[in-house]
Structure 1
Amino acid sequence: MASALPPFPAFVVHDESTSLGTRWKKWLKRFEVYLTAHEITDNKRKRALLLYSAGDDVADIFDVLPNRGDDDDYSKAVDALNKYFLPKVNKAYEVYVFRNTNQKQGESLDSYYTRLRQLAQTCDFSNEDEEIKSQIVLSCSSSRLRRRALREDLSLKDLLDAGRAFEVSEHQAKGIEDSDKSAQSTEVKQVNNSRC
């Protein structure tokens, strides 16, 4: 008896927040992980789950696509949907989004790097690491890191290592300073209480 599969979220076709092609690629990648996690290898079942899980909008699109293959041809179904969704990637827009991505207040360098790495995948850069390094230098929140990167010719790995070290030292220094302030406040209260 087959075990019940938890539902997989449908693909949202009509969402203008990010490009359609980028969202499709991400959805399909996660869907294939879902299939692997549930050990689904039969092509007919994979295709049925793809069309069921993707939702009504995708099923309606799929019904009118050419070269969809037979009911047991998963790869042709994926190819047909990829041909429909992937040309919708606007590289100029993806580069624009990448270039306008800044490190958020309170965001760690690792988290910022991960966001940039994800965005760079759709930009088709010839040297992704160099583009990410440049974006970090231009828009990170640490002026110390920026100055060091401008002073030294660091690789992306060295830049990230230096940024992590700066974050750790800032966090530790803040902890010491907060502890000192707390101790000073306690001393002032004790002095004031002894005068009363």
Structure 2
Amino acid sequence: MAFVQEEFSILHREPGWINGKQKVARLLHQAGTEVQEIYENIKDEQVVGTTDYEKCIKRLDSYFEPDVNINYERQKFRNIKKAMEQFIVKLRKQAISCDFKEKEDAIKDQVIERCTDITLKLKYFKKGKDLTLNKIMEISRLYEMEKVVSNQNLKKEEKDKEQESVNRISNVECYRCGRRGHFAKSAECNAANEI
């Protein structure tokens, strides 16, 4: 219905061009007989509007807007799994359908509840009353960067240790042949084949 309404409003943008009843008649004509039947069967007393056209649109909107199952929407809200920023964006989008009184608090609670990293969760708790969604995203971003840098440092340390052990082997002197860089049992040792 919104598509027909948009087309219709583009057609009749000029104010005062036609009156409200004429707009209603044209809209219903353009929408077709099925919409006309629906319009006639919707009670007019429940609709609030200043003009006949506004009342018509509200009557049709009340029919065509899908019913939202709040419980189902909240279940979807509880089961969202994404990276932190994507997670919050997805939660904000889903929270619109959930009819929460305090959307931001519901989102914060969900983020904290779903956080599996204890260190990150403790960082959220340390903020106490000052914790907002923006702070959650900031803390999460910084924490992710810290983890990346920490992982890079660990990899560098592992590589350094590996290089150090290689260096130790290259300094070892074979007791059979007297050369450096291998052990006596190694296939590289020429003296092993002579015995």
**TM-score class, shorter:** 0.5 to 0.7
Given that 2:124 and 2:139 are in contact with CA atoms closer than 8 Å, whether structure 1 keeps it comes out as no
Of 47, 58, 64, the residue aligned with 2:34 is: 64
- Deviation of 1:138 after TM superposition, in Å, equals 0.4
The percent of aligned pairs where both chains have the same amino acid is: 20
For normalisation by structure 2, the TM-score amounts to 0.55
For normalisation by structure 1, the TM-score amounts to 0.54
2:112 equivalent in structure 1: 137
CA distance in 2 between counterparts of 1:63 and 1:192 reads 89
| Cα distance, 1:132–1:191 mapped onto 2, change above 3 Å | same
Matches within 5 A, 1:11-90: 43=10, 64-65=34-35, 66-67=38-39, 80=60, 83-84=62-63, 86-90=65-69
SS across alignment from 1:64: helix
- Deviation of 1:149 after TM superposition, in Å, equals 2.6
What is the alpha-carbon root mean square deviation over aligned residues?
3.7
- Deviation of 1:172 after TM superposition, in Å, equals 0.9
- Deviation of 1:126 after TM superposition, in Å, equals 1.5
2:89 equivalent in structure 1: 114
The aligned length equals: 135
| Cα distance, 1:193–1:86 mapped onto 2, change above 3 Å | farther
CA distance in 2 between counterparts of 1:172 and 1:83 reads 54
- Deviation of 1:193 after TM superposition, in Å, equals 4.1
Identify unmatched segments of 5+ residues in structure 1.
1-27, 45-61, 68-72
- Deviation of 1:131 after TM superposition, in Å, equals 0.6
2:28 equivalent in structure 1: none
- Deviation of 1:120 after TM superposition, in Å, equals 0.9
1:190 equivalent in structure 2: 167
| Cα distance, 1:78–1:141 mapped onto 2, change above 3 Å | farther
Q: What whole-Å deviation, never above 9, does each CA across 1:24-83 have from its counterpart, x for those lacking one? A: xxxx8xx9xxx9xxxx99835xxxxxxxxxxxxxxxxx873334xxxxx9xx89984x54
2:193 equivalent in structure 1: none
| Cα distance, 1:42–1:96 mapped onto 2, change above 3 Å | closer
SS across alignment from 2:89: helix
- The structure showing larger relative contact order (alpha-carbon pairs under 8 Å, at least 6 residues apart) is 1
Identify unmatched segments of 5+ residues in structure 2.
12-31, 40-52, 172-180, 183-195
